[in-house]
Amino acid sequence: MAGYHQLFIPGPTNMPDRIRSAIDRPMENHRAPDFGELTLPLLEDLKKVFKTEHGRVFVFPGTGTGGWEATITNTLSPGDTVLAARHGQFSDQWIQLCQAHGLNVRVCDRSWHEGAPVQQFAEILQADTDHEIKAVLTCHNETATGVTSDIAGVRRALDDAGHPALLFVDGVSSIASLDFRMDEWGVDAAVTGSQKGFMMPTGLAIVAVSPKALEAAKTSKLGSFYFDFQRNGMSHQNGFFPYTPATTLLYGLRESVNMLLEEGMDNVAARHNRLAEGVRKAVDAWGLSLCGNDPALHSDTVSTVMVPEGVDGGAVVRHAYERYDMALGGGLGPLAGKVFRIGHMGYVNEVMLLGALAGVEMALNDCGAAIQPGSGVAAAQNHFRAAGAATAMAA
Ligand code: PLP
């Protein structure tokens, strides 16, 4: 098929040429005396993406799931209690991972249309006067549902209760795209992967940890050799890794961080908000609704759109792929068939997104949803024009 494949899934995301070129290089010695010239400033600059001065960043070959595992195995002990909410595919999987490691998970089951239950967390933490709960797990941006949770609110719940539990945040589809403030929100471990906001290929787990989490790592008994923070941290001091690192991906990550910092993290978040708002205007114009109940929590990186009665969300995704060479995200778990997802994170701008919205309109109509062609595109155009001059994205 001629033309570019249109990738609008919520990760992996479109890869800029700058990153593609940075990765395209020969293999080299990861124990060369000057390897630290690449890695030491990179590990330091990554802290700016997480907005942490006090934290420490670890980069592992792996994915976001590996980042969860690194966090849990480094900081907790078998039988420890953790508090978590289940309100989507990824919050559910993090709970499963904890259970697989023999942790006792206090699960707050929520509808898949809601965010993390800040008030319920507050009540549970207040009642936990013996401080049985060792960590609170929150998924910042549920990629399945397109609902963003209030991490500052969870922090307040902990502080108001005077509770010492660690705060772990899944930022796989938020960090490097949405406003993320590790230090200000008192996050003890923030987990992400390379293939979403970082605009990279899949293959790196990126985890930032607070001094408190590093302290917990000294007594944790769950244990991991590969992910061990102390073992990795010792090696990182000189810019090395205690295994063979993915050198080419580290060069890609260097370029990614350059691009993010050139644009500025606040501008990156503002761009994602502007783009997402255009998508929301389009969804409104189609007469459809988003999965999230609370408009204040609608995600700026992924929109999960409910399909009308009688239309199969899976068929829309399949048809868009086969007929229009465009990849959309399908519904996960209980949302299968009921939704489709438009990913709008990473290397995306207004005109790219308008193309995606036009493609969605065609696919929806072909699949039996009576959408006025052009209505969503026009609504998004009006929003983008009114939203004023875009801050230039790093080219
Ligand atoms: N958490 C969230 C919010 C995600 O969106 C994903 C993947 O899409 C994961 C965790 C799992 O990450 P990975 O697939 O990189 O292991």
Asked if 299 and 147 touch (Cβ cutoff 8 Å), the reply is: yes
* Gap from CA of 173 to ligand 1 centroid (Å): 7
Work out which ligand 1 atom sits closest to the CA atom of 202: 15
- Percent of the residues in the chain that have a pLDDT greater than 90, as a whole number: 97
| pLDDT at residue 181, rounded to an integer | 98
With 70 as the cut, is the pLDDT of residue 371 above it?
yes
Ligand 1 touching residue 198 (CB < 6 A)? no
Q: How far is CA 230 from the centre of its chain?
A: 25
* Gap from CA of 263 to ligand 1 centroid (Å): 25
Give per-residue pLDDT as tens, 239-286: 999 999 999 999 999 999 999 999 999 999 999 999 999 999 999 999
341 is in an annotated binding site: yes
Closest CA to 90 of 129, 26, 146, 29: 146
Amino acid, single-letter form, for residue 387: A
Ligand 1 touching residue 89 (CB < 6 A)? no
Q: Tokens for 2?
A: 């001629």
DSSP code per residue over 273-315:
HHHHHHHHHHHHHTT--BS-S-GGGB-SSEEEEEPPTT--HHH
Work out which ligand 1 atom sits closest to the CA atom of 11: 8
DSSP, collapsed to helix, strand or coil, labels residue 388 as coil
| pLDDT at residue 388, rounded to an integer | 74
Q: Stretch 51-80: mean pLDDT, rounded?
A: 98
| DSSP secondary structure letter of residue 180 | -
**What are the chain's domains?**
6-12+265-386 (3.90.1150.10), 17-262 (3.40.640.10)
Ligand 1 touching residue 90 (CB < 6 A)? yes
- Percent of the residues in the chain that have a pLDDT greater than 70, as a whole number: 98
Pairing of strands 302-306, 326-330: unpaired
Asked if 200 and 252 touch (Cβ cutoff 8 Å), the reply is: yes
Q: Stretch 162-177: mean pLDDT, rounded?
A: 98
Ligand 1 touching residue 248 (CB < 6 A)? no
Alpha carbon distance 389, 45 (integer Å): 28
Q: Stretch 81-87: mean pLDDT, rounded?
A: 98
With 70 as the cut, is the pLDDT of residue 394 above it?
no
Confidence of residue 390 (pLDDT cuts 50, 70, 90): low
Per this entry, what is the length of the chain? 395
* Gap from CA of 357 to ligand 1 centroid (Å): 24
Give per-residue pLDDT as tens, 101-114: 999 999 999 999 99
Alpha carbon distance 324, 4 (integer Å): 11
| pLDDT at residue 385, rounded to an integer | 97
Q: Tokens for 387?
A: 């939203």
| DSSP secondary structure letter of residue 333 | G
Give per-residue pLDDT as tens, 29-52: 999 999 999 999 999 999 999 999
Q: Stretch 207-236: mean pLDDT, rounded?
A: 97
Q: Stretch 330-358: mean pLDDT, rounded?
A: 98
Ligand 1 touching residue 16 (CB < 6 A)? no
- Residue 372: count of CB within 10 angstroms of its CB: 12
* Gap from CA of 68 to ligand 1 centroid (Å): 9
Give per-residue pLDDT as tens, 278-331: 999 999 999 999 999 999 999 999 999 999 999 999 999 999 999 999 999 999
Ligand 1 touching residue 11 (CB < 6 A)? yes
* Gap from CA of 332 to ligand 1 centroid (Å): 12
Q: Whose CA is nearest to atom 9 of ligand 1?
A: 64
With 60 as the cut, is the pLDDT of residue 383 above it?
yes
- Residue 303: count of CB within 10 angstroms of its CB: 27
Ligand 1 touching residue 139 (CB < 6 A)? yes
**Mean of per-residue pLDDT scores for the chain:** 97
With 60 as the cut, is the pLDDT of residue 392 above it?
no
Phi/psi of residue 311, each to 5°? -110, 135
Ligand 1 touching residue 63 (CB < 6 A)? yes
With 90 as the cut, is the pLDDT of residue 21 above it?
yes
Ligand 1 touching residue 91 (CB < 6 A)? no
Confidence of residue 144 (pLDDT cuts 50, 70, 90): very high
